[in-house]
Amino acid sequence: MNAESASGTTVIRRLWPSDQSQITEHFRQLDGQTRRMRFGGAVSENFVEQYAGKLIELGTILYGAFPDGHLRAVGELRGLLDDWPASAEAAFSVQQPWQDKGLGAALMDRVVAAAQNRGVKSLHMICLKENEKMQHLALKHDAILDFNRYEVEAKLDRPWPTPFSVAEEIANDAQGFVQAVLRWPGGLGQGA
């Protein structure tokens, strides 16, 4: 399936350790410009692989978008170590052929909801000043943008979780977990 035929079939779900090989492959697939935008500068293949390999181990909460059955976009939520869970950081990466199709916005909704449900009061996103697309998405979530010479920090203040927001996340994650298990090598969905 190509990027044009993604609509309607996209699965957005939490990523688990069983998804590690796809997570690494996703970061490997990012082209130079997307990597620059994601990491704020040019990064090596080796750096990207090591970064991808550490995400789950470091407790980052990850959501992935699967528009064609493969992981094409990732949203990350990680606590700021000295202040978790009051403050957290979010980051997003969408493979270039899959950009501008709503995947980033959909992942941002999930990441922002996950932050709210963990009591995160202040969610930060850092991007290059030229990254107007990311700033646009942040503003749609009522972020306050703080510009310095090279970067922009988007800060979202979240309301406290509600029973409904927690229940919604649990339902979404449970459904995503079943899908992840079905994809596990030897799982029910494999080789049938």
Ligand X SMILES: CC(C)(COP(=O)(O)OP(=O)(O)OC[C@H]1O[C@@H](n2cnc3c(N)ncnc32)[C@H](O)[C@@H]1OP(=O)(O)O)[C@@H](O)C(=O)NCCC(=O)NCCS
Q: Could you list the residues that contact ligand X (CB under 6 A)?
A: 34, 37-38, 91-94, 99-105, 127, 131-134, 136-137
Beta carbon nearer to ligand X, 45 or 100: 100
Nearest approach in angstroms of CB 57 to ligand X is 20
Structure tokens at 21: 């090989």
| 88, containing H or E segment | strand 87-94
Nearest approach in angstroms of CB 120 to ligand X is 17
Beta carbon nearer to ligand X, 7 or 46: 7
Report the C-alpha dihedral over residues 24, 8, 101, 165, rounded to 10 degrees.
-80
Nearest approach in angstroms of CB 26 to ligand X is 11
Beta carbon nearer to ligand X, 18 or 96: 96
With CA atoms as reference, report the closest residue to 191 among 182, 115, 142. 182
Nearest approach in angstroms of CB 27 to ligand X is 11
Beta carbon nearer to ligand X, 74 or 180: 74
Nearest approach in angstroms of CB 14 to ligand X is 18
Q: In what order do the strands lie in the sheet with 151-157?
A: 11-14, 61-66, 73-79, 87-94, 122-128, 151-157, 144-147
User: Are 77 and 111 spatial neighbours (Cβ–Cβ below 8 Å)?
Assistant: yes
Cα dist from 143 to 120, 139, 163, 192, whole Å: 14, 5, 24, 46
Q: Residue 2, class by beta-carbon neighbours within 10 Å (0-12 exposed, 13-18 middle, 19+ buried)? A: exposed
Beta carbon nearer to ligand X, 106 or 178: 106
